[in-house]
Homo-oligomer: A and B are copies of this chain.
Amino acid sequence: MKSELDALMQARDMDAFIVFGHAENNPPMTYLTGGGHVSHATLIKKQGEESILFFGDMERDEAAKSGLKLIPYSKYDVEALFKKANRDGLLAAALRMELMLKDAGITSGRVGVYGFYDLGAIFGMLSHLQTLLPELEFIGEAREDSIFMKAMETKDETEVNRIRKMGRITTEVVDKVRDFLTSCDVRDDEVLLKRDGSPLTVGDVHSKIRLWVAERGAELPSGFIFAIGRDAGVPHSSGNPTDLMRLGQTIVFDIYPAEAGGGYYYDFTRTWSLGYATPEAQELYDQVKEIYDHLNSNFDLNAPFRNYQQMTCEYFESRGHQTLLHTKALVEGYVHSLGHGVGLNIHERPFSNLMNGDDHRLASGVVVTSEPGLYYPEKGMGFRIEDTYWVRPDGKMEILADYPYDFVLPMKKWKK
């Protein structure tokens, strides 16, 4: 939680940090400002002190919403700095940062560098700044182990409720898609038809999904997945827009909307087969559902997350599938990890990779996915079931949005 940041800084001997970049699509900045459209911001925090948000004057209203201590960039004479730097933009930026750090009371020590922003510009600026301020040491941290990823790992109830709300939106949209698909007319060759009698494509369904998410005021990263047949067998294939929607083929629908502007995410997957399923597809789906349920009955408070990846690999291997337990770079079988934390990042701590340490745990307050799957692109099929769980203070794993696990969806106007 956010309140842990000072302790994390202290433990890592970090005297201050700088967060660069927009307030949107920039989780560390969003985490500290609470969002809002501040597009030219910098945030500086000294250990044990309040954060200071530096902002462009035109964005004063948006900056004020953060509730942070504010300093407008106009305090610094950019024109004079630009001249002093002989029109070298990077040096001018470094000279301004020198003044900003001084205003934040930072003159020596280790300074963490964070934010999602233009790597070249910041790397170049920091090179100058290091020369200007040799008493400072600028440090980067591995993404998975940064103080932000650590602090963000456990959520307070406000955060959980925001994720839960995105879960409600997610399942509403999924249900609309289900209703839309099962209401379609079906041609003799088992292709679904639109109202105008033309074939329904994956691209048509993508458009509906985007629209129904937008109607609910949420944002949908363009990489969401609604894929059928072979593409369903490639875990991160978004789905080919020109593919026709057909009965009896597996559909993987993986959707992860976020609050507008880059806020909290929800992550969710269902696998469907319209009208009927082939016996082979049904058998594979049943295996995914079996391990999914088995995991649910075995999640323990504070257990290392990787234990459940191990359990899932062992289960699938016992059924004759390849997994990451004994094979690398898989294209068939169970080809990915079991899950990940969800918050302001769609993928965050804890992670379930087999090589992770014991610090990736199902601790009280984490929000994680469980998403076993099987992929057989050559057979034209793929399967995944995914829900997002909150590990409650009482140790129970709560699914943050309930939705049925039907595989075969009966068509309203078609019978085998």
Question: B-contacting residues of A (Cβ < 8 Å)?
Answer: 20-21, 24-25, 37, 39, 56-62, 72, 74, 77, 79, 82, 87-90, 93, 112-127, 138-146, 207, 210-211, 213-215, 217, 219, 221-223, 231, 234-238, 260-262, 328-331, 335-336, 355, 357
Contact = CB atoms under 8 A, between A and B. Distances in A.
A142 B124 contact: yes
Most chain B CB neighbours (cut-off 10 Å) among A90, A207, A214, A261: A214
A354 to B, nearest CB: 9
Contacts of A328: 74, 77, 79
Most chain B CB neighbours (cut-off 10 Å) among A89, A119, A146, A336: A119
A264 B329 CA distance: 34
24 contacts: A24-B223, A25-B25, A37-B238, A57-B330, A60-B234, A62-B223, A77-B328, A90-B140, A90-B142, A114-B120, A115-B120, A118-B143, A119-B119, A120-B140, A121-B142, A121-B146, A124-B140, A124-B141, A125-B140, A126-B140, A210-B217, A211-B215, A214-B214, A221-B261
Contact of A61 (B88, B231, B329): B231
A120 B113 contact: yes
B234 A61 contact: yes
Contacts of A355: 79, 82
Given A217-B210, A261-B222, A335 B238 contact: no
B116 A117 contact: yes
Contacts of A61: 231, 234, 236-237
Contacts of A231: 61
A261 B214 CA distance: 14
Given A118-B143, A122-B140, A59 B236 contact: yes
Contact of A331 (B57, B116, B329, B331): B57
B58 A335 contact: yes
